[in-house]
């Protein structure tokens, strides 16, 4: 799972660098959050699915992410500022695979306002959501020999006993 962990680390680091001037805290969401960082970005992986198989032995892990952008309502013009904050996150994510060949470009990138519970009064939040596929594991074709000839047959004339009857593509 090192490809996945490397991607998560690069995602967090890219946000920390991009938002350093704003003094934003970037971290992974913990369910027991008591104090919210403001300004801050809390990252979460909301869902993991199997993506489209590339046929190379790697697990195509389709990840649904959320970046919760948080500002204090003491921020000047906070209603507009939070939208700009979320837009800056979207600009960083757009077309970004974070220099990893094992990660696809983000799709379904969007942002919307999120309601907080009364215990979190004093903050405004927008969630940026997207999906990105991370190919986990080793590519069985890297450093190996690619097939030079492809043959086929139709069922039921398949398998080792029928190899002599296969046709070339």
Indicate if the pLDDT at residue 146 is higher than 70.
no
Domain 2-140: assigned CATH number? 3.30.2000.10
Q: 127 pairs with which residues across the strands?
A: 68, 112
Give pLDDT, residue 117.
67
What does the alpha-carbon distance between residue 135 and residue 49 come to, in Å, rounded to a whole number? 12
Alpha carbons 38 and 145: distance in angstroms, whole number: 52
Give which of 119, 116, 127, 115 is closest to 89, Cα–Cα.
127
Is the model's pLDDT at 129 over the cut of 80? Answer: yes
Q: Band the pLDDT of 155: cuts 50, 70, 90.
A: confident
Q: Among 13-17, 66-70, 87-91, 156-160, which stretch is predicted with the lowest mean pLDDT?
A: 156-160
What are the domain boundaries of the chain?
2-140
pLDDT-derived band at 89 (thresholds 50, 70, 90) equals very high
- What is the model's pLDDT at position 25? 95
pLDDT at 136: 93
């Amino acid at each position: 799972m090192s490809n996945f962990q490397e991607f998560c680390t690069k995602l967090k680091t890219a946000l920390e660098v991009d938002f350093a001037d704003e003094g934003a805290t970037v971290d992974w969401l913990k369910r027991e959050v008591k104090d919210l960082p403001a300004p801050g970005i809390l990252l979460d992986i909301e869902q993991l699915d199997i993506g489209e198989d590339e046929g190379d032995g790697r697990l195509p892990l389709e990840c649904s992410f959320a970046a919760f952008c948080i500002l204090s309502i003491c921020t000047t013009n906070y209603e507009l500022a939070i939208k700009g904050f979320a837009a800056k996150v979207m600009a960083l994510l757009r077309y970004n695979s974070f220099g990893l060949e094992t990660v696809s470009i983000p799709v379904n990138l969007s942002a919307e306002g999120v309601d907080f519970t009364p215990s979190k009064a004093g903050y405004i939040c927008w969630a940026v959501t997207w999906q990105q596929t991370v190919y986990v594991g080793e590519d069985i074709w890297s450093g190996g020999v690619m097939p030079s000839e492809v043959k086929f047959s139709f069922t039921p004339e398949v398998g080792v006993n029928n190899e002599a009857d296969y046709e070339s593509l």
